[in-house]
Amino acid sequence: MSTEESHQHLKAIDAQTSEQELIEIYKSWSETYDQDVTEDLGYVAPKYAAEQLSEKLDEQGLSKNARIIDLGCGTGLVGEHFHKLGYTNVDGLDISLELIKIAEKKQVYKTLQCGYMASDKCKDLGMEPNQYDAAICIGVFTIGHVKSKGFDDLIYVVKPGGLVCFTIRECIANDPSYGYFEKMNELCELKKWRLVSKANIVYHQVNNFKSWLYIYEIL
């Protein structure tokens, strides 16, 4: 598939895209997704994020058996990088059953399940609170996907003292309709988390698209 054709799937997603529409887009995209985003768009954010979170986990003295949840795991691109880094206890959750089926074939997750972020009181995640040493969420806080309420899910699933790592696409970081910065600051003021690191990274190498990569500690 050409780079232009790869972009057509992304162009179908905007701020008005509904949850069900998003599910349908990924259903039709699932079989070619990995090639489209990695080979044609140069999607490198999963690699950078997994490496950065791994460094912070090492600093905390956690072993490669640290329990990690990959929220919005998709086809398992983040899971693949954690697997290469030697992690053996990574779970995944995604809205798309079709993407989960692709991830299952890679055998890089301990468990995989379908779930929904940013719902009322985190109930649609289908998880108990305070279960994980870390959560990672890459390519989720982006155009037409999960808005700032999804940060509550990260805090919900991770133990106090644990880490959360996520990207926010640079092009919408300041968009008030998504509310990312306001929510992050609110959670700091409420002492729900504290900022550990912030970096501006390459997201898609094609066109040099950028994103912010954040790591917070849960308090």
> What's the pLDDT score for residue 30?
76
Q: pTM score, two decimals?
A: 0.92
Q: For tokens 């232009």, name the residue.
A: 4
Residues of the chain with pLDDT under 50: 1-6
Calculate the CA 53 to chain-centre distance: 12
- In percent, the amount of the chain with pLDDT more than 70 equals 90
> What's the pLDDT score for residue 20?
75
- Residue 96 half-sphere exposure toward CB, CA atoms < 13 A: 25
Q: Are 24 and 144 in contact (CB under 8 A)?
A: no
> What's the pLDDT score for residue 10?
56
Per residue in 96-134, is it b (16+ CB within 10 Å) or e — as a string? Answer: bebbbebbeeeebbeebeebbbbeeebeebebeeeebbb
- Comparing CA positions, the residue from 84, 94, 78, 80 lying closest to residue 29 is 94
Q: Can you tell me the distance from the alpha carbon of 64 to that of 108, in angstroms, rounded to the nearest whole number?
A: 13
Per-residue model confidence as pLDDT tens digits over 95-152:
999 999 999 999 999 999 999 898 876 778 889 999 999 999 999 998 878 999 999 9
Q: Can you tell me the distance from the alpha carbon of 170 to that of 174, in angstroms, rounded to the nearest whole number?
A: 8
> What's the pLDDT score for residue 16?
60
Taken in order of first residue, the domains within the chain and their CATH numbers are: 44-218 (3.40.50.150)
